Amino acid sequence: MDSTEPIPAGLSPAVAAAETLVEVRRGQTLELTVSDLAYGGKALAKVDGFVLFVENALPGDRVLATVTRRRRQYAEARAVEILASTPFRVPAPCSHVPICGGCRFQDFDYSEQLRHKQRQVEACLAHLGGLPVAARSVLPAPKLFHYRNKMEYSFGRDERARLTLGLHRRGLYDRPFDLDRCHIATPVSSEIVAFVRDFAVREALPPYDLRNHTGLLRFLVVREGMRTGQVMVNIVASGTHPALDRLAVALRGAFPAVASVILNLTRRKAQVALGEEEHVLAGQPTILERLGGLTFEISSNSFFQTNTEQADRLLDSALEALALTGTERVLDVYAGTGTFTLPIATRSAEAIGIESSEIAVRDAERNAERNGIANARFWKGEAMEVLRDRFDSGPRDASSGRPEIHAVLVDPPRAGLHPGVVSRLIRLGAPRLVYISCNPGTLGRDLALLCESRFALEWIQPVDMFPHTPHIECVAALRAR
């Protein structure tokens, strides 16, 4: 076996090591029984221990599938016929499901989605963290549809070179299809997509072309305060155009909920819906949302939890794990706009957020002020550098040489914690650590390091923030040994 070939996400080293006894070739059509969902949402079948990831199939299906790609340790296949369906297949309400890269599991019974997510979390902890523990039952989402408070739509062209605006086709990142109605976005979000598309076509505004880096319109990001009703429309473009001012006025006229229309200018080639320059085209520069009993101001480029209702559950689990009594000094690393820092501050002596985005820190400070919270502060910078600069000399206090920290919360991006951050968190000497993660793979890896030396895992609570997608969020409660 070629040890340099990467093991795909969801394939445990033990499975990957199984040598195939059968000949699996590209182009071949096989009858397969889909046995499982790998982490990342790919359906998985095995032939004599050899793993095939199967597109367009669900666990429990028996399918005819054509092999599309053959690697040394696994193959990829696409189901061309369902010979016998899983009893858990349900009708999907959305007509885009067969092609959309967003919802993979709208046609899979929700309780089965949750069962698989729980098992995947446990598998990641066992295989990548060496922690064979049972996770708590996944906290289900109360709303299975229209739950997202933010959607990113892409501009492109179809095969007849006409402007399209919508979501990506599964597996393709340069061919968005024209979206009619998205069932996980809010109804107004889909209506705004149709409005902006019609406007762009009427005004002959060109979509950005990824290959030769020409054109104007790149992304449309629609954000909605689910508990305030305020909507932000954010147009990400490669330049300005007088028609965009008219679009902003027209949007505010057609949709009274639109409180803010922003233009983000980007000259980067990378396909990310962020701008280097932000202009308010109409209305306010931010919108408001309520979470954890507080009011948050959100800018176009700041991170904010995408499912407001489930973010409250995430916060409840984090607070349970922190078990604050009101006297603690708490560190919130990767603090964003203060979603967790501020509710923590209302239950502790002091909360300190560390965050690298200047805009997010500015929003967080404004949010503290707006909510009358005086015992929260935010340190802008890279987590590793801030931890080094502020804490490397170890625990102090003894009234009060500072900076003794009683509890730490971390909520890093998908890549998880840099090993340098892990070792600094260990050296901080806090008795309690709470890890919020959107990636069970990197969570397993990081928990292995944290639990190797100082911490013990008390419990892990998966929270389903994104029904019908492979994503799963977890709160892990750790205590110093």
Ligand X SMILES: C[S@@+](CC[C@H](N)C(=O)[O-])C[C@H]1O[C@@H](n2cnc3c(N)ncnc32)[C@H](O)[C@@H]1O
Beta carbon of residue 376, minimum distance to ligand X (angstroms, whole number): 13
Could you say which of 113, 266, 339, 442 contacts ligand X (CB under 6 A)? 339
Beta carbon of residue 264, minimum distance to ligand X (angstroms, whole number): 16
Could you say which of 238, 308, 357, 461 contacts ligand X (CB under 6 A)? 357
Q: Binding residues for ligand X, how many (CB under 6 A)?
A: 18
- CB closer to ligand X out of 75 and 335: 335
Beta carbon of residue 356, minimum distance to ligand X (angstroms, whole number): 4
Beta carbon of residue 315, minimum distance to ligand X (angstroms, whole number): 9
With binding defined as CB under 6 A, does residue 383 bind ligand X? yes
Residues 6 or more apart whose CB falls under 8 angstroms from that of 241 comprise: 205, 216
- CB closer to ligand X out of 147 and 340: 340
- CB closer to ligand X out of 226 and 354: 354
Q: Can you tell me the distance from the alpha carbon of 149 to that of 138, in angstroms, rounded to the nearest whole number?
A: 21
With binding defined as CB under 6 A, does residue 335 bind ligand X? yes
**Which residue lies nearest ligand X, judged by its C-beta?**
336
- CB closer to ligand X out of 68 and 423: 423
Q: Which of residues 407-446 bind ligand X (CB under 6 A)?
A: 411, 413
- CB closer to ligand X out of 88 and 340: 340
Beta carbon of residue 67, minimum distance to ligand X (angstroms, whole number): 37
Could you say which of 10, 336, 416, 440 contacts ligand X (CB under 6 A)? 336
Q: Which stretch binds ligand X (CB under 6 A): 24-32, 34-42, 241-249, 354-362?
A: 354-362
| Residue 266 structure tokens | 């980007």
Give the β-pairing of 350-355 and 376-380. Answer: parallel
Beta carbon of residue 402, minimum distance to ligand X (angstroms, whole number): 21
- CB closer to ligand X out of 193 and 273: 273
With binding defined as CB under 6 A, does residue 273 bind ligand X? no
With binding defined as CB under 6 A, does residue 208 bind ligand X? no
- Return the closest-CA partner of residue 407 out of 355, 340, 339: 340
With binding defined as CB under 6 A, does residue 360 bind ligand X? yes
Task: Give the residue numbers annotated as catalytic, written as ranges.
Answer: 438
Could you say which of 276, 358, 382, 397 contacts ligand X (CB under 6 A)? 382
Q: Which stretch binds ligand X (CB under 6 A): 47-55, 63-71, 211-219, 350-358?
A: 350-358
- CB closer to ligand X out of 131 and 335: 335
With binding defined as CB under 6 A, does residue 355 bind ligand X? yes
With binding defined as CB under 6 A, does residue 118 bind ligand X? no
Q: Which stretch binds ligand X (CB under 6 A): 67-75, 185-193, 205-213, 349-357?
A: 349-357
Beta carbon of residue 345, minimum distance to ligand X (angstroms, whole number): 14
Q: Which of residues 294-313 bind ligand X (CB under 6 A)?
A: 303-305
Print the SS3 string covering the chain. CCCCCCCCCCCCHHHHHCCCCCCCCCCCEEEEEEEEECCCCCEEEEECCEEEEEECCCCCCEEEEEEEEECCCEEEEEEEEEEECCCCECCCCCCCCCCECCCCCCCECHHHHHHHHHHHHHHHHHHHHCCCCCCCCCECCCCCCCCCCEEEEEEEECCCCCEEEEEEECCCCCCEEECCCCCCCCHHHHHHHHHHHHHHHHCCCCECECCCCECCEEEEEEEECCCCCCEEEEEEECCCCHHHHHHHHHHHHHCCCEEEEEEEECCCCCCCCCCCEEEEEEECCCEEEEECCEEEEECCCCCCCCCHHHHHHHHHHHHHHHCCCCCCEEEEECCCCCCCHHHHHCCCCEEEEEECCHHHHHHHHHHHHHCCCCCEEEEECCHHHHHHHHHCCCCCCCCCCCCCCCEEEECCCCCCCCHHHHHHHHHHCCCEEEEEECCHHHHHHHHHHHHHHCEEEEEEEEECCCCCCCCCEEEEEEEEC
Beta carbon of residue 385, minimum distance to ligand X (angstroms, whole number): 8
With binding defined as CB under 6 A, does residue 260 bind ligand X? no
- CB closer to ligand X out of 334 and 435: 334
Q: Which residues bind ligand X (CB under 6 A)?
A: 303-305, 334-337, 339-340, 354-357, 360, 382-383, 411, 413
